[in-house]
Amino acid sequence: MASVAERSQVSAFMAFFIIMSMQIGIGVLGFQRIISKTAGHDAWISVLLAGAAGHLVLALMYWLLQQADGDFILLHQQLFGRWLGNVLSLAMAAYFASMSLVVLRTYIEVIQVWMFPDLRTWEFSLAFLLLCLYITLGGFRIVVGICFFCLIIPSYLLFTFWFVFDYTDFYRLLPILDHPLSNIVKAAKEMTLTMLGYETVLFFYPFLKSGKQSAKWAHAALLTTTLFYTLLTVLTLAYFSEKQLQRQIWATLTMWKMVEMPFIERFEYIGIANWLFVILPNVCLGLWCSSRICKKVLPVRQKTALFLVAIGCFLGTLAIHDRTGVNMINSILNRIGFYFLYVWLPCLAAFTYIRMKVRGKL
């Protein structure tokens, strides 16, 4: 396994919090409209299908890591040679940096649309990335701590959906399987962006004590996330009609308008503010993975790579000016994530299996 000092490692069960904190992100606020556009009131089935596919891919990731002794970058080098393998690994560094960029820019758009229309993108982006740099420079254990607390602290928001039940009609989900299977599968494909995050295990695996034992926790995290998204989808479909839902870019925020408390009039503001805790580990771990890869394949320190990646993310947020640009980067990352998880990783597993059969070892 890649050499990592024990003082830098975390317990295997922390994989549960790392993966969940990565999968629950900005997509929670508005994924329902995207999948219901294709699958209608059967969209909840698409979420379950996406989760089942995710478990297969996650099991494939652990198998690949075991063949490469826990070092995914080494696997690239062994299969494709040092030069091409490093190029492929750098492509993954760009992928994780793009993930941080998409999460941050989408969250800024939510703030600008719902709370502060005059907020300048560069101001929030700079402040938030400086916070992420401060956290990530502390090392992987600090990032994991942020993943843990930023999953626990905003968890109270789950109870706020209770206010929505008085306005739901679950008969809207009937009849079940009313849409073609091809539409349900297509909607599952569109869930890719929302479900992304568990692939980070490919790079934080060496930092887990007893990495093999972390598989059950990783699958438990993916199962929990899948059930959460499924229940939220069911609640959304029962609250909105299909036509109403297509007019709601941020369906979850609209449902939060139903929350009534004597001391809070606009609870969606509280939800948006608290969502900063949710996206913080998304960006931090994305930056960490990207800089970690750069450190392994380039003659640079991880600190230097981290600053460069953060600068790239900052410039990227400035280059996206409107809703069209935000939609575009979300669509691009969704497509890249889908091909990486469901095309490239199975191909990589096939290459690994063939090489092992031919040579007797990797």
DSSP 79-135: HH-HHHHHHHHHHHHHHHHHHHHHHHHHHHHHHHHHT-TT--HHHHHHHHHHHHHHH
Over the stretch 343-355, which tens digit does the pLDDT of each residue have?
Answer: 999 999 999 999 8
Q: What is the pLDDT of residue 361?
A: 65
Q: 15-63 pLDDT, tens per residue? A: 999 999 999 999 999 999 999 999 999 999 999 999 999 999 999 999 9
Looking at the chain, list the stretches that DSSP marks H as alpha helix, in order from N- to C-terminal side. Answer: 14-23, 31-39, 43-67, 72-80, 82-114, 121-136, 140-152, 181-190, 192-195, 201-204, 214-239, 242-245, 251-256, 267-297, 302-319, 323-339, 345-359
pLDDT in tens, 233-280: 999 999 999 899 999 999 999 999 888 877 788 888 999 999 999 999
Q: What is the mean pLDDT of residues 282-290?
A: 97
Q: What are the residue boundaries of the structural domains of the chain, listed by start?
A: 6-337
pLDDT tens-digit series, residues 203-237: 999 999 988 899 999 999 999 999 999 999 999 99
For residue 126, the model assigns a pLDDT of 97
CATH class of segment(s) 6-337: mainly alpha
Q: Is the pLDDT of residue 322 over 90?
A: no
Q: Distance between CA 126 and CA 142 in Å, rounded?
A: 21
For 125-150, what is the mean pLDDT? 96
Q: What is the pLDDT of residues 68-123, one digit of tens each?
A: 888 999 999 999 999 999 999 999 999 999 999 999 999 999 999 999 999 999 99
Quote the pLDDT of residue 151.
94
Confidence at residue 264, expressed as pLDDT on a 0 to 100 scale: 80
- CA torsion 240-245-251-252 (nearest 10°) is 30
SS3 for 264? strand
Cα–Cα dist 10/147, whole Å: 12
- pLDDT band of 342, cuts 50, 70, 90: very high
316-342: average pLDDT: 93
> 10 — phi, psi (to 5°)?
-125, 165
Instruction: Specify whether the CB–CB gap between 213 and 12 falls below 8 A.
Output: yes
Round to whole Å and give the CA distance between 242 and 8: 49
What pLDDT is recorded for position 283? 97
